[in-house]
Amino acid sequence: MERFVYADNAATTPVSESVRRAMLPFFEDGWGNPSSLHRKGREAKAAIDNARSRVAAAIGAEAREVYFTSCGSEADNWAIKGAAYAARRKNPEKNHIITTVIEHPAVLETCRALEKDGFTVTYLPVNSDGLVSVDVLKDAITPATVIAAIMFANNEIGTIQPIKALADTAHEKGILFFTDAVQAVGAIDINVKDLGVDMLSMSGHKMHAPKGIGALYIRRGVVIDRLINGGGQERGQRAGTENVAYAVALAQAIEDAVASLDDMKRVQAMRDRLIDGLSAIPRSYVNGSRESRLPGNVNIAFEFIEGESLLLLLDMAGIAASTGSACSSASLEPSHVLLSIGLPVEKAHGSLRLTVSHDNTDEDIDYILEQVPKAVARLREMSPLTEF
Amino acid sequence: MYSEKVMEHFSNPHNMGDIENADGVGTVGNAKCGDIMKISLKIENNIITDAKFKTFGCGAAIATSSMATDLIIGKTIDEALTLTNSAVVEALEGLPPAKVHCSVLAEEAVKAAISDYYKKNGIDKEIPDASCHCHGDSCGCGE
């Protein structure tokens, strides 16, 4: 038997064959430093320029607007801190940042760090579907506001925000708009010019590139401070010898992802089968919007049971999933996202996240639909709370 | 992150269920904190002849319940009252630091069940303090 179903693609994805093939030559022959003037350097420079163009093309940007980073978190830190410090230096009154309560820690903790340095931060609430309201954003903007940082799609509940409308609102009020699109890039069609965002972050390992590469799109004309000082790499904006192999990997990954966006209809059908099948379990609650949702995201809470136990049982059955339960986190706090959409703590403990991708099959979905109800029933049998 | 012993007790928990007409029942914990343990006892001639648990909680909560009931079956009440959370942790070959509170909950559940037995039988005896306090609320309980 030894069946293994990987349904935790929002956590990370395996490096694809195509990406591995594209990047390997840069560990063999293409190891030069793009800043070197000799042949090895020129080869590496050509490779990274090409990779930058391909990443840019995949999101409708110009090559000069794409900057490689070491990960999505770095891109998030850089966008927000870079914009905040650049604005405040020019005008000390500019000390306000807007974000939402459901952001990834890479954004939330960046904002908290800025609070410690004198900035004020407004954390916008979301509705029970996890959506941010355009009016709420509009009302939060003050003359002191520098930037609004609102995630494209949520990593836990998959809710996709109305980014174009939010960005338009920010611009009407004269502030910058940044979106953490780590979960969205590669999963849905994105064109930065159509959306009108000023900055957008992405991460390679969410779309079959290795961990350790990300990128930040910075619209031409937007000037932010550096996060990493040093040499003149990345047009002088991000120091550090370029990771050519991984930049090439990111380019291949994003190109592959965009080329297979059509297959997302199949992924979405698998997602819907999972949501329909699992929400048939009594006392279960689907978290996040059903309509405005990432094609691969399922998040559902089962009353009377605890998520870590559920994950352990599923792991024993060969299914890799994730939970927003407190007991699975080092902090022993349940998911801030689930609490923000109004889920009571008791229910947040029993949440299960399954994130499927192109690599999954209908047989995987059959297997999950067979195993999850069994595991839920087993834990409910053990639970002293099941008096219904 | 869990020892083999913990996984063994989690995947095949011992003494899971309820005892009909139990002589003592103790429920501790809080759904908000993510764990609730209920231990039921059958007591004859001062000896715990059977113990069962029902637990809402993580893998460690289920494993500590299973182990704690194992450790008190066949013991006298006074012996069961000396069960400490660290004895449960030791029997499970260790718990991650963040999960030690589960073993405290197990100790408290045993004491709560015995206290219930005392109350039902009009026995006026002191229940020793738990070796570490959770006050029935595992949220506030560290190591």
Burial level of A254, CB count in 10 A (0-12/13-18/19+)?
buried
Kindly report the number of other CB atoms within 10 A of residue A45's CB atom.
Answer: 18
Mean of the pLDDT values across residues A84-88? 98
Per DSSP, B31 falls in state: G
Distances (CA, A) of A165 to A109, A135, A149, B33: 25, 10, 14, 39
Mean of the pLDDT values across residues A165-185? 98
pTM of the model: 0.94
* Nearest residue of chain B to residue A306 (CA atoms): B57
Q: Which residues of B touch A334 (CB under 8 A)?
A: 34
Q: Do B38 and A384 touch (CB under 8 A)?
A: yes
The closest CB to that of B34, out of A312, A326, A384, belongs to A326
The closest CB to that of A383, out of B54, B98, B139, belongs to B54
Mutate to test the interface with A, among B8, B14, B58 (most CBs of A within 10 A): B58
Domains of chain B by range and CATH?
A: 4-137 (3.90.1010.10)
Mean of the pLDDT values across residues A340-354? 94
Q: Do B57 and A306 touch (CB under 8 A)?
A: yes
pLDDT at A155: 96
The closest CB to that of B34, out of A312, A349, A381, belongs to A349
Mean of the pLDDT values across residues A280-284? 97
Kindly report the number of other CB atoms within 10 A of residue A35's CB atom.
Answer: 13
| pLDDT-based confidence at residue B142 (cuts at 50, 70, 90) | very low
Say yes or no: B109 contacts chain A, CB-CB below 8 A: no
- Between residues B24 and B98, the one the model is more confident about: B24
Q: How far is CA A184 from the centre of its chain?
A: 6
pLDDT at A1: 60
| pLDDT-based confidence at residue B137 (cuts at 50, 70, 90) | very low
Catalytic residue status for B33: yes
Taking the CA atoms of A126, A130, A133 and A137 in sequence, report the sign of the dihedral they define: positive
How high does pLDDT run on average in chain B? Answer: 91
Q: What percent of chain A has pLDDT over 90?
A: 95
Domains of chain A by range and CATH?
A: 17-259 (3.40.640.10), 261-382 (3.90.1150.10)
Beta-bridge mates of residue A351: A301
Extract the tokens encoding B18: 């309820």
| pLDDT over 90 at B30, yes or no | no
Lateral strand order in the sheet of A284-286: A284-286, A297-302, A351-355
| pLDDT-based confidence at residue B139 (cuts at 50, 70, 90) | very low
| pLDDT-based confidence at residue A304 (cuts at 50, 70, 90) | very high
pLDDT at B129: 80
| pLDDT over 90 at B85, yes or no | yes
pLDDT at B134: 53
Q: What share of chain B is helix, strand, coil (3-state, %, to 5)?
A: 45, 20, 35
Residues A198-211: tens digit of each pLDDT: 999 999 999 999 99
| pLDDT over 60 at B46, yes or no | yes
Residues A119-129: tens digit of each pLDDT: 999 999 999 99
How high does pLDDT run on average in chain A? Answer: 96
| pLDDT over 80 at A326, yes or no | no
Mean of the pLDDT values across residues A277-301? 97
Say yes or no: B31 contacts chain A, CB-CB below 8 A: yes
pLDDT at A43: 97
Closest CA to A146 of A247, A229, A222, A43: A222
Q: Of the given ranges (A152-166, A291-305, A333-347, B56-70), which has the lowest mean pLDDT?
A: A333-347
pLDDT at B136: 46
Residues A110-150: tens digit of each pLDDT: 999 999 999 999 999 999 999 999 999 999 999 999 999 99
Outline where DSSP puts E strands in chain A: 5-6, 66-69, 96-100, 120-124, 145-149, 176-180, 199-203, 214-218, 284-286, 297-302, 319-320, 351-355
